[in-house]
Structure 1
Amino acid sequence: MEDDFVVDFGFDYGTTSITVAFNVCGSEETRLLQFQSRSSAKDSNELPATVVWCQNQWHYGPDAEHNPGSIVFSDVKSGINGRTPYTEQMWRAFHKVNSQSAVRETPVSLLTSLLQHILRLLEQEIREHPQYRTLLGDRSFSGESIKKRCWVTYPVRQSDSLHLTLVQAARAAGCEVHGVSESVAAAYYGVLKDKVEIRESSTILIADVGGSTTDVATVCVDYVDGARSIKMACATDGKPSSSCANASLTFTRDLQRRTVSQ
């Protein structure tokens, strides 16, 4: 439909924190989602990646309830990615949850619930913005007339388990899913947002150092009349078979990665 209300949001699922950037209907303005906290005077554009299971539901952020009955999930990304000892730690926590609940919780259901929480906050922020509220009208945020495109960042050396979990969770939350490696995302941000000083056409190396992974991209940059553009961005884990793309990496329907042009 031509009058679809389109929300693009980038979901950067880090080891210790989560950041969400969003764009509404292709506007020139891209904003960071603000996460509100009852216990802090200021909102934050970062949500702690640690979540809590308490009273038969998931809780997020600094206001998550920590009482004697709560089960804390930290280092979930490392656990899903198969890293020792975090995988064992994660499944022990799920065993505790499932012994208390009639519904079996999994990494997919945890991340699905997390994305649904983010979508609720995203809707709230969009409805509070005068321009976006006018565009949104009386549409239901969960309705088909609102297209939600989730751009998921992932480490280059991820496991198939993390790959599948991110895709399945985003789809279960009602999103169209796309993916881009963390190093390529960092390259685009660094180059196109003028975070890297460039005064001539160059080939540069950009490293995205995270909480538990470091991802590297080689970037070919054209610099003409003061304008910079990315000609090629190659994400690499140091192996000859690493992927190169002239725009980004995306997830296809059969969950395999392919390159697509910009």
Structure 2
Amino acid sequence: MASCTPQGAKLLNGWKAAKIFDKGIGLELPQAYKKFWKEWKETKPTAVHYIHRDEKWERNELTGEVKPVQNIPIPIIYPAEHHEGIWGGEGVVKGFQKRDQYKRRVPHFWVPVLRRTVVYSEILDKYMAVVVTNRTLNLIHENYGLDHYLLKTLACDLKSELALQIKRRMLKALEKNCPAYAGTPELQAEVYNRYKNYLSAYSSEEIDWYGLSFSQACTKLRTLQSLSQANEPLKHKYRFKLIQKLKEAGIQEFEDLDNQKSKMSSSWLNKMNPFSKKET
């Protein structure tokens, strides 16, 4: 049941809550960042704290009763500290624990085992001290290295901003042909050929916007706008947007009017220019 708040009233009347890209500067963010955001925040992550079952129905062997399989994800808490490490999709599980047969259950938190270790990136040719979990180490070993693990894994499973920033640096290094090995061309070509297949899933613009948080993306967009439109009057910007929208709508009369105005302005300038050729 919706709450008795303005937002709840809108939902009851058929209004949808505004999303992050439906208002403010979120409207102006490029499609490349929206694609990353969908992969990071809206894609269903891999089951970590429960066993996902593909079948839809199950039969009780004793009674023969058929029941639907319930794949209900366990609610996970991801504290702010998980952005400073690579937890491999693990988080804090909140629940209750029965510690005594004759006493009431008590609240309990199951926290993943964290440890600081050193990992190596072959693409960046760099050792990094990071906080990881046992599952992260197992995934790194299963994928034969940190580079393969980060580049294969979707953003919804990596979750942490640190892991996404490292993955972004790897993609940028691959795009520039592994500059860490510029002094040894043979090794540079070997490392690049080993990981170049991962570039096929991204365009250059998508790599540029990959791994940024929403605040970082907004800051990047404001910086680009200030550099490209520092001295451009707003009336020219809004006029250009209006022309584009009318052209997309297929208004041919406006296109003819726009062409006629451009010809009139050019002829007026020619009359004012004493060095222009006069029409006879």
TM-score tier by shorter-chain length is under 0.3
- Radius of gyration: which is bigger? 2
TM-score, L = length of structure 1: 0.23
